[in-house]
Structure 1
Amino acid sequence: MTIVDDILDFAKAESGKLELESTDFNLHDMVEDVLESWAESAAAKDLQLTGLVHPDTPAWLYGDPGRLRQILMHLVDNAIKFTPAGEVGIEVACEVETVESVVIRFTVTDTGIGITPEAQDLLFQAFTQVDASATRQYGGTGLGLAISQQLVEMFEGALGVESTPGQGSSFWFVVKLGRGTALS
């Protein structure tokens, strides 16, 4: 079902039919939801799964929590998939704050296999996988990062990666959100 959803989201984004919703949401709850969703998969591989929302980051925001969650889910899925031992973590920080909006930086870091600079150039292309061989060890459609890239751009943001083979990866994205009106 996830594969079908990814293909549909990709097709909608490519045709300009994918839209963001806007609602108040609690950032801490959204990050906690992502961590809870992946806790079992991380535990099955004996990985430590952590999350940190910096204290100066506004808790209540206005935007599309479902699409933010989708981006984080793709990034954490990849981090767990490509990390045989060690840890995967989500870190969230406020980069810019104005009266009306905030720019939030999300970072998903792992101690996994890492990615070569050559392979990093291919990561955000649809249906592209770093290991495309017939005997590839890691599955997937090659759409998660392409969809994430499109969604981040819809949030007026950017998505990138820093990685060293054998030492792990750090995928980050920044998005512009409104200030939430709900009370903590």
Structure 2
Amino acid sequence: MSTRNLGLLTTTAVAALAFGGLAGSALAAAAPNPPEAADKPAAKPAVRPMKSPTMPEMPQMPAMPAKPAAKDAADGADLKACGDGKCDVVVQDGDEIKLDDEFGIDPIGVDVHGSRVTFTLKNNAQHMVTVVDASQHATVHWNGLTLRPRMTDDGKVVVNLSHRDAGKKKPGKR
């Protein structure tokens, strides 16, 4: 007898025992008890119903720390505080942020619509318009200028502005 036939025969025998055992116990449970066995309790089926496995309890995840409150602007709504190339101000739709002439940047146009902030940046040779979401920790870099808009808890848009040359003395200036 070949190994293949032996394997097939073995598999068939196992299947017959398994299904025969299930079918036999099911038939025995369904068969009426003979009159002399009326005094005895019915025989238990050979196959017990499967208990559903109990899932171990999932460990509790530690609570996430509360989101830190978005702080208000250090310079309030005073856009003139940005003239020196460093400020933290509340902006509104239609505002313009003017830097001192030494930075060589035209007034920065600001348009605010919800958390979306559009900055219009220009100098003598370049022009850029960029749109960022103030609720997503966005940062804009342009010609040494960095703009970081953010939302406060009460829905105001605050822009942190800094220029790489802020605080540096220019030659010939005192």
TM-score range, shorter chain: under 0.3
Give the number of the structure whose alpha-carbon radius of gyration is greater: 2
TM-score normalized by structure 1?
0.24
Structure number with higher relative contact order (C-alpha < 8 Å, ≥ 6 residues apart): 1
Query: Quick check: which one's helix share is greater?
Result: 1
TM-score normalized by structure 2?
0.26
